Amino acid sequence: MNNHVKDIVREMTSASDEERINFPNVVMALMEAGVERYHADLVRANKIYFMPDDSFEVVACHATAKPAREFSAAGVEAAVRAIQAQTIKYREFCDRIAAAGCVGYFVTLKGRRAVYYGRDNESHVEWFPGAK
């Protein structure tokens, strides 16, 4: 990953944490930079961005509330719908998915989906709008 792309992924992380950007605009910027996928770890408070050649950059991000022990796919889905409706912002979204037992999520840009998962690898797949 070159320095220009590293700057972009750092800025997208900061902009998300500071609620200066929404998810569709993050996705657009990452796709334009050539990022293939990323992983957000809610327990470790970091994101790892990957390029198609498997180079990567680890970026610290804001800490969420401690994730609940039990995973609720319905709780994750409700948080997704709330942020899509713009009734909540990113930090509250992260706190809500943590409250639903989500410990992390993967976003694949080419695959146009996010996979939210819990401690026992229970999961909820959320397709990007219009992707399916």
Q: Residue 44: name the closest of 119, 103, 88 by CA.
A: 103
Which CATH class, in words, describes the domain spanning 3-123? alpha beta
Q: Break the chain into its structural domains and give their ranges.
A: 3-123
Tell me: the pLDDT tens digits for 65-121? 899 999 999 999 999 999 999 999 999 999 999 999 999 999 999 999 999 999 999
Q: What is the pTM of this model?
A: 0.94
Tokens linked to 131: 């992707």
Q: What pLDDT was estimated at residue 61?
A: 97
The rounded distance, in Å, linking the Cα atoms of 47 and 106 is 10
Tell me: the pLDDT tens digits for 31-45? 999 999 999 999 999
Task: Look up residue 110 and give its amino acid.
Answer: K
**What residues are paired with 123 via a beta bridge?**
117
Residue 132 in this model has a pLDDT that exceeds 80 = no
* 72 touches 101 (CB < 8 A): yes
